Structure 1
């Protein structure tokens, strides 16, 4: 099992360093407070997984050719969109910490955080338009729409125990997998691959993103607060019912009662977390994550062998390794 991204991302290590340097420059100094908020975000120690995937797909499809400035800009846009979505997520969730670092809304306030997120979305849209590739513009614009759709679905479905696994996966696609899937496909478009290859890489990103989200949702129940950077079980407490809880409800309907009364009685939260941990919900969610990680790897057999292709395979292994 591969347990760190640093070894996987060796083929694009220099690309990621350049990306980090460029991101703060792209935000610009016209808005000091928004600039400070963005700088805080980009310096918050993220793994840069999404732009790394863009670089790896780009290098795996270009092979011996050099990365173009448009591939590099696509990776930067991808990280901007991802970061903007995190800022808005934190406002909606009233989160105080992310990766054990204070969120923008806790450092400044909700108004500045919303504006900072909007600013990043606007900046990403501007740079996206300047790529002068309509297909790539459509792909990444769809991602921004999907983020909003996912957030709305999550808000509407709070404490809704009738949610199906299919609806959960759809929301997970909108909130996590869409960006990975569409940016992978966009990198193929910029590399001028065949339609078949670009579609396969879209499916790689879709399945990898779903596996990543399912693993995140499992860790919400199994990781200590200091590792998560937020309280354990916080998704369930806020009414966001994820795969482990959905499976657990099928085994123990009393969990449904606790959720539907929104944990309003003493010890409801502790009881709910115990039910999830003592059920087969976490194991079944692990199997679901494994299914999508394995599917992701199947979709990149169309790529020629290279260090970048191998890194994309290893990344699916890494996603699962986070559980152990």
Structure 2
């Protein structure tokens, strides 16, 4: 199976520069914020979002090197993503992410909230310094979307009337908006025509939704070691995802278990069993597959290159995680 890191071969050296730059960009005046940043950017994340930005930049800049603004955009994208993770971990009370202690479990909640705020503020400052109003608007919207997604998730806990459409909207806000808008921003910085900008946006949107659906499937099929958190933890906290929503259409008994918030001792295990007995996981795979095919179709007008090929393969990699 192809690893995600080997997919990023065309931008491997770009990503190494990015990691070093991120530590310098944060350059926090306070030692504890710097320690938090060091901890965040040193953690073994896959850097998928900045890699997508850099691959797209290389795919649309055939024959020339990518712009310094493209590199900065990739750094801003990772800063925004990391800031949102720090806040998510506080909201979700997660002690570990990717096998590494979270900022709030290492430094306390106050520092974690401030570190997240600091990263959002830093990313906004660097964003303004790109001097491109269109890109500022696109990525400012992402920061609003991230908050909107978190709020929607909080308001819809244990809500068995949640529609698939509402779930996809929330998934867009929480995951796909950043990938879609940063992908479109690559094209804006390269001066591409509108129809190509729309394709880049649509690629990021569909890929981002596929990512989220796959993560939600893995919450039921992955091991705790791989997930870095207990299996089914989204369901336990009342966050109803695609496999649950599909299962609810088949297994009416599941509704009652969720609505009483797994009050009885065996409720949660029963709920997991019902989901596994249903078509929920298979239908969610199909949904992820549809999104990946849509994403790949958006790359057709890009010239053939190693980077373009890697972007196509990235869609296939996302799916292979659940097949």
Q: TM-score range by the shorter chain?
A: over 0.9
Aligned residue for 1:5? 4
Question: Is the 8 Å Cα contact of residues 212 and 319 (structure 1) preserved in structure 2?
Answer: yes
Q: Given that residues 3 and 321 in structure 1 are in contact (C-alpha distance below 8 angstroms), is that contact kept between their aligned partners in structure 2?
A: no
RMSD of equivalent CA atoms: 0.7
Aligned partners of 1:20 and 1:117: how far apart in 2?
18
Aligned residue for 1:109? 108
| SS of aligned partner of 2:135 | helix
Q: Structure 1 residue 29: deviation in Å?
A: 3.6
The Cα of 1:16 is off from its aligned counterpart by 0.3
Q: Contact between 1:3 and 1:322, CA under 8 Å: does it hold in 2? A: no
Matches within 5 A, 1:28-43: 28-43=27-42
For residues 233-282 of structure 1, give each alpha carbon's deviation from its aligned partner in whole angstroms, at most 9, with x where no partner exists: 00000000000000001111111101100111111111111111111100
CA shift, 1:119, in A, is 0.4
TM-superposed deviation, 1:44: 1.2
2:167 corresponds in structure 1 to 168
- Distance in 2 of aligned mates of 1:192 and 1:61: 10
Aligned counterparts of 1:322 and 1:239: Cα–Cα separation in 2: 24
- Which runs of no fewer than 5 residues in structure 1 stay unpaired? none
Query: In structure 2, what is the equivalent of residue 98 of structure 1?
Result: 97
Partner of 2:86: 87
Q: Deviations over 1:165-207 (max 9, x none)?
A: 0000000000000000000000111111111111101000000
Structure 2 residue 58 is the aligned partner of structure 1 residue 59: yes
Residue 149 of structure 1 aligns with which residue? 148
Distance 1:227 1:62 in 2: 36
Q: Distance in 2 between matches of 1:118 and 1:15?
A: 27
Matching residue of 2:313: 314
Q: What secondary structure sits across from 1:231 in the alignment? A: coil
Q: 1:39: Cα distance to partner?
A: 1.0
Give the whole-Å Cα distance in 2 for the aligned partners of 1:76 and 1:300. 23
Query: How many residues are matched?
Result: 323
Q: What do residues 196-227 of structure 1 show as CA deviations (whole Å, max 9, x unaligned)? A: 11110100000000000000000000011111
Question: Normalising to structure 1: TM-score of the pair?
Answer: 0.99
Q: In 1, Cα distance between the equivalents of 2:259 and 2:102?
A: 30
> What does 1:68-217 correspond to in 2, within 5 Å?
68-217=67-216
Counterpart Cα distance in 2 of 1:317 and 1:47: 16
How far off is 1:34 after superposition? Answer: 1.1
2 CA distance for matches of 1:105 and 1:16? 27
TM-score for both structures, normalised by structure 2 = 0.99
SS of match in other structure, 2:304: coil
Comparing 189-198 and 174-183, the one that deviates more = 189-198
Q: How far off its partner does 1:3 sit?
A: 3.5
CA spacing shift, 1:88–1:23, aligned 2, 3 Å: same
Match of 2:301 in 1: 302
- Structure 2 gaps, min length 5: none
Matching of residues 237-248 of structure 1 within 5 Å? 237-248=236-247
Q: 1:266 aligns to what SS in structure 2?
A: coil
Partner residue in 2 for 1:253 = 252
Q: What is the SS of the residue equivalent to 1:87?
A: helix
Q: Are the aligned partners of 1:243 and 1:285 in contact in 2 as well (CA < 8 Å)? A: yes
C-alpha deviation, 1:38, in angstroms: 1.4
